[in-house]
C-alpha cells in the first residue's frame, strides 16, 4: 500500500517553504506528528542541521516535528521505525550519492512500498522515478549509479519549465533535453510544473494542484494532462 | 604546445552555426583544410552523419572539410593523424560516455597537448576542463566517470547565464548551482557567456569575444573578468 506525494517543488514563488501544500500535508501525515527528514540534498550546500531546522519551521505550523536522519546512529532502523518520511530538494546527485553511501536505497524503497507515507519535493521527488536521468541539477558529485527508487514506472522532471519564446539564450529548452533523453531511453517522463504534485495511493497515480503536467512518451509527441488525471497507465 | 579554442557555444542568437567565430577559425585552422569532427554529443539526438553534415555546412564557408571520427575504422589513429579537431556541442554525458567507450580520452588529450589545434563548443568545451561536474546538461546516460581532459586547470561552465531578476521560477540559478559545486569541490569554474571563448596557447589562457566572464573560486565571491584577461593564474 503506497502512500506518496511527489511534488515538483517545496516552494512556489511569493510563498514560504512548503506553504502551498501545508494543508495537504496535515491530512497526509495525520497518523504521526514525527517526520523523519532526509536532508542529504543540501540546497545551496547548507548543512544537514540547517536544512532540518528549515523543514521544522514549516512543519511546526501544522504541529509536526521533523528529525534529520543524520541524527540517528542507525539510519536504516530510523527508516524502519518512521511513521512519515520527507526528502527535501537540493542537489539530486548529492542526495543519491549519500543514499548509496549509507545503503539506504533498498530500505527506503521497502518502507515506502509497505505504506510509510513519503513526501518528496524536487530532488526528493526525482528519486521516486526509475532514474535521475531527467533531473535538472548540476552533476556536482559522481554517484555510484543513476538508478533510484522506481516507486512509479516512469521518470520525473520537477520544476518543469515551458520554453520562453523570447529567449535569446541558446542552451537547450527543457523539452529538447527530455527529447534527447528519449534518444537513449524509453521510459515516459512526467514534467511537473511548480505547484503540481503526484498523489500515489497504492496503484493509483493522480496529478494534483491547479496546473496541467506535460507528458513525454517515447516516440510520441509531448502532450498535456489536466489536474486530477489518473496516470497509472503510463509505463 | 597547446593550441585550443574553448567556446561557450556554437551558435549565438540570430546567427548561423559557428558563424560568429568563422573568421577566427579560418586563421586557427590555417595549416589544414581537413578537420576531424567528433559528433558524439548528438544535439537533439541527431545521428553522427547528420551532425557531421551540419558541421560541414559551416566549415565549407571557409574552405574546410569536416570528417566524422565515426567514419574511421580506427578512431585512435584518426586522432593521431588529424591536423585539426573539432568537438561539437550537444549532451556532455553522451559525449563523455562515447569517449570512454572507445578509449579516446587519453589519446585525445595527448594529441592536443602535442599541438593539434582543437576547437570545442559547449559540450566539446566542457571536456577541456577537469571534470563535467559543471555541465548544464541533463544526465541522460551514465558515463563511467565525470573526469575529462584537464587541458586547463579549472572547470568550464558554458552558456553561462545571469540570474533573471523577474523570474518566478524556483529552480536554482546558475550561480547557485556553481556555488553548490564548491560545497563539494575546490577547482575554479569559468562561466563563459555565449559568444565568449578561451584562447589557449601553450600556458596562456586568454578570454576572447566582447563579453566579460564570471569566475567562481572556492571560498571567494564570484567576480567578473573582462575580455583579453589572462587566466593562467587560476587554479
Which residues from A are below 8 Å from B142, CB to CB? 133, 145-146
**Nearest-by-Cβ selection for B133 from A134, A139, A170:** A139
Q: What is the mean pLDDT of residues A127-135?
A: 98
Tally of structural domains, chain B: 1
Asked, for residue A234, whether it belongs to a domain, the answer is no
Q: Which region, left, alpha or beta, applies to residue A122 given φ > 0 means left and ψ of -120 to 50 means alpha?
A: left
Asked if residue A232 is part of any domain, the answer here is no
- Decide if A181 touches B, using CB distance below 8 A: yes
Cell of B224: 567578473
Whether B185 has its CB under 8 Å from any CB of chain A: the answer is yes
Question: Distance (Å, rounded) from C-alpha B15 to C-alpha B13?
Answer: 6
Distance CA A127, CA A36 (A): 17
Mutate to test the interface with B, among A12, A144, A170 (most CBs of B within 10 A): A170
Are B162 and A172 in contact, with CB atoms under 8 Å apart?
no
CATH of the domain at B198: 3.40.50.880
Residue B187, φ and ψ in degrees, nearest 5: -60, 150
Nearest CA to A18 out of A49, A62, A71 is that of A62
Q: What is the ipTM of this complex?
A: 0.94
Instruction: Say if residue A195's pLDDT is above 90.
Output: yes
State which H helix or E strand residue A146 sits in.
none
In this prediction, residue A133 carries a pLDDT of 98
Q: Which of A180, A181, A183, A195 to mutate to test the interface with B (most CBs of B within 10 A)?
A: A180
Partner residue facing A194 (CB), from B42, B169, B179? B169
pLDDT in tens, A2-59: 999 999 999 999 999 999 999 999 999 999 999 999 999 999 999 999 999 999 999 9
Q: Which domain holds residue B34?
A: 3-225
> Is B44 part of the contact surface with chain A (CB cutoff 8 Å)?
yes
Q: Is B41 on the interface with A (CB under 8 A)?
A: no
> Is B72 a member of any domain?
yes
Q: Is position B232 within any domain?
A: no
Say what percent of chain A tops pLDDT 70. 100
- In a domain? residue A192: yes
| Residues A185, B140: C-beta atoms closer than 8 Å | yes
Residue A233: inside a domain: no
Report yes or no on A235 lying in a domain. no
Q: For chain A, what is the largest distance between any 2 Cα atoms, rounded to a whole number of angstroms?
A: 52
User: Could you list the active site residues of A?
Assistant: 122, 137, 159
Domain-embedded: residue A230: no
Task: Match 512543519 to its residue by C-alpha cell.
Answer: A59
Amino acid at each position: 500500500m503506497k502512500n506518496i506525494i511527489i511534488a515538483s517543488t517545496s516552494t512556489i514563488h511569493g510563498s514560504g517553504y512548503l506553504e502551498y501544500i501545508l494543508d495537504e500535508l496535515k491530512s497526509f501525515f495525520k497518523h504521526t506528528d514525527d517526520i523523519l527528514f532526509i536532508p542529504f540534498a543540501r540546497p545551496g550546500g547548507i548543512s544537514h542541521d540547517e536544512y532540518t531546522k528549515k523543514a521544522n519551521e514549516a512543519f511546526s505550523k501544522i504541529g509536526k516535528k521533523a528529525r534529520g536522519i543524520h541524527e540517528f546512529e542507525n539510519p536504516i532502523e530510523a527508516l524502519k521505525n518512521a511513521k512519515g518520511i520527507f526528502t527535501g530538494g537540493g542537489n539530486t546527485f548529492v542526495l543519491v550519492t549519500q543514499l548509496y553511501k549509507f545503503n539506504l536505497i533498498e530500505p527506503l524503497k521497502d518502507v515506502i512500498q509497505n505504506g510509510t507515507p513519503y513526501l518528496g519535493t524536487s530532488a526528493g521527488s526525482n528519486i521516486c522515478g526509475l532514474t535521475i536521468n531527467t533531473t535538472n541539477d548540476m552533476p556536482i558529485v559522481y554517484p555510484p549509479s543513476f538508478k533510484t527508487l522506481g516507486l512509479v514506472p516512469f521518470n520525473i522532471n520537477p520544476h518543469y519549465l515551458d520554453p520562453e519564446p523570447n529567449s535569446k539564450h541558446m542552451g537547450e529548452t527543457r523539452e529538447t533535453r527530455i527529447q534527447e533523453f528519449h534518444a537513449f531511453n524509453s521510459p515516459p517522463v512526467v514534467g511537473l510544473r511548480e505547484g503540481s504534485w503526484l498523489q500515489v495511493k497504492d496503484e493509483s497515480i493522480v496529478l494534483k494542484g491547479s496546473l496541467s503536467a506535460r507528458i513525454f512518451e517515447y516516440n510520441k509527441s509531448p502532450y498535456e494532462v489536466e489536474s486530477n488525471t489518473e496516470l497509472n497507465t503510463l509505463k
